[in-house]
């Protein structure tokens, strides 16, 4: 549990979240129960015609998961050379309530850690991407940074209609 | 590969998840076309007869489009890259042509390998939603010989390769 959070009353309710530093000094979070595993150096197979922020498919537990680079997705333009997958964070999500779980992976080039978040930490979304409202369920302050809580179902959903 | 933390509570729904993302069976006659590391799987009826590249290919005014043969055997030829775009310089190791598509002037593509697969069965995986870009040339994949083979059609290959070359 990270300690870089404001002092809280002892009876304050907190929810766990997985914090991902997706680029140097910039963070997103996912609901802790949605984060399944951190994989070191998976082999990623590029897929022709895939969106530019999608590195390809990686094998994981008898499945093939899409691997997305959040930094490229959020700034909405492609790298001249795709980034190496490095570590990836496997996430579970439901496209609709009651639907079966689906899985995807995001690049995790930096810190992945667990934090506990309270309601009073809520803050506005960062202004460095027009796509935050599309992907974020909420936002909280951590270590003087706004941290959007991402909806994995939106991150791994159909790309049409985002722009 | 190392797993740094254990599965969360959602893993209890594993069985339900497998139902939702399970591959479907696909069977019939197909052609596996290989361009270096790119492997494509097309319905057999989408692919014309294969022929060896016996003459030197000529460049044309359209970058990425080459010519092979003369007269009635004149072919317009495309060599695909790993991301299914038309290569601007003709690569080594492509020695067989196969035409794709219908119409009066089907486009020929240069391949490293052409393999006809008769009455085969595959487990066909749909592309994850995140990869289902409008106009994408691929709509699924199968596992074969330890790698992925991408499912497509002649129409998709032709329209994607020619659109990306413009």
Q: What is the ipTM of this complex?
A: 0.83
Determine the Cα–Cα distance for residues A157 and A149; give it in Å rounded to an integer: 16
Residues 6+ apart with CB under 8 A from B143: B123, B125, B149
Query: What is the token pair recorded at B51?
Result: 């022929």
Q: What is the pLDDT of residues A79-90, one digit of tens each?
A: 777 667 689 999
Q: Given a cut of 70, is residue A21 above it in pLDDT?
A: yes
Query: What pLDDT is recorded for position B22?
Result: 59
Query: What pLDDT is recorded for position A158?
Result: 78
Query: What pLDDT is recorded for position B83?
Result: 92
- CB nearest to A64's CB, from B8, B125, B137: B125
Query: What pLDDT is recorded for position A149?
Result: 97
Query: What is the token pair recorded at B37?
Result: 């590391």
Among B2, B7, B8, B35, most A C-beta atoms within 10 A, so best to mutate, is B8
Please tell me if residue A39 touches chain B, with a CB cutoff of 8 Å.
yes
Please tell me if residue A37 touches chain B, with a CB cutoff of 8 Å.
yes
Distance in Å, alpha carbon of A56 to nearest chain B alpha carbon: 8
Query: What pLDDT is recorded for position B8?
Result: 37
Query: What pLDDT is recorded for position A147?
Result: 96
Query: What pLDDT is recorded for position B70?
Result: 86
Predicted confidence band of residue A95 (pLDDT cuts 50, 70, 90): confident
Using alpha carbons, select from A145, A76, A74, A69 the residue that is nearest to residue A105: A69
CB–CB of A101/A93 below 8 Å?
A: yes
Residues of chain B with pLDDT below 70 are 1-22, 102-105, 164-166
Among A31, A48, A55, most B C-beta atoms within 10 A, so best to mutate, is A48
Please tell me if residue B82 touches chain A, with a CB cutoff of 8 Å.
yes
Q: Given a cut of 60, is residue A1 above it in pLDDT?
A: no
Put simply, the chain B residues between 49 and 78 with a CB less than 8 A from any chain A CB are none
Output the CA angle B78-B81-B84, nearest 5 degrees: 80
Query: What pLDDT is recorded for position B10?
Result: 35
Q: Given a cut of 60, is residue A136 above it in pLDDT?
A: yes
The predicted model scores a pTM of: 0.85
Q: Nearest-CA residue of chain A relative to B128?
A: A66
Chain A residues in contact with B9 by the CB 8 A cut-off are 33
The pLDDT of A12-29, averaged and rounded, is: 91
User: Are B128 and A66 inside 8 Å of each other by CB?
Assistant: yes
């Amino acid at each position: 549990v990270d300690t870089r959070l404001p002092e809280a009353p002892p009876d304050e309710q907190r929810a766990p979240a997985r914090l991902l530093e997706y680029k140097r000094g910039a963070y997103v979070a996912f609901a802790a129960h949605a984060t399944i595993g951190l994989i070191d150096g998976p082999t990623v197979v590029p897929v022709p015609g895939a969106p530019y922020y999608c590195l390809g498919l990686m094998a994981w537990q008898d499945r093939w998961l899409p691997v997305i680079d959040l930094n490229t997705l959020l700034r909405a333009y492609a790298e001249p050379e795709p980034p190496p997958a490095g570590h990836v964070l496997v996430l579970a999500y439901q496209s609709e309530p009651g639907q079966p779980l689906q899985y995807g992976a995001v690049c995790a080039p930096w810190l992945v850690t667990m934090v506990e978040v309270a309601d009073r930490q809520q803050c506005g979304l960062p202004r460095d991407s027009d796509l935050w409202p599309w992907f974020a369920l909420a936002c909280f302050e951590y270590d003087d940074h706004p941290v959007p809580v991402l909806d994995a179902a939106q991150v791994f959903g159909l790309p049409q209609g985002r722009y | 590969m190392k797993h740094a933390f254990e599965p969360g509570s959602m893993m209890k729904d594993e069985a339900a998840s497998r139902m939702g993302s399970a591959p479907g069976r696909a069977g019939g006659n197909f052609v596996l076309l290989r361009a270096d590391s790119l492997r494509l799987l097309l319905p057999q009826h989408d692919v014309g007869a294969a022929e060896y590249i016996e003459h030197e290919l000529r460049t044309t005014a359209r970058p990425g489009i080459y010519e092979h043969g003369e007269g009635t055997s004149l072919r317009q030829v495309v060599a695909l890259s790993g991301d299914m775009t038309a290569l601007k310089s003709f690569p080594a190791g492509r020695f067989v042509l196969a035409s794709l598509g219908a119409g009066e002037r089907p486009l020929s593509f240069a391949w490293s390998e052409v393999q006809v697969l008769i009455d085969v069965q595959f487990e066909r995986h749909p592309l994850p939603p995140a990869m289902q870009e409008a106009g994408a040339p691929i709509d699924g994949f199968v596992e074969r010989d330890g790698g992925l083979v991408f499912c497509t059609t002649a129409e998709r290959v032709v329209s994607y390769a020619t659109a990306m070359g413009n």
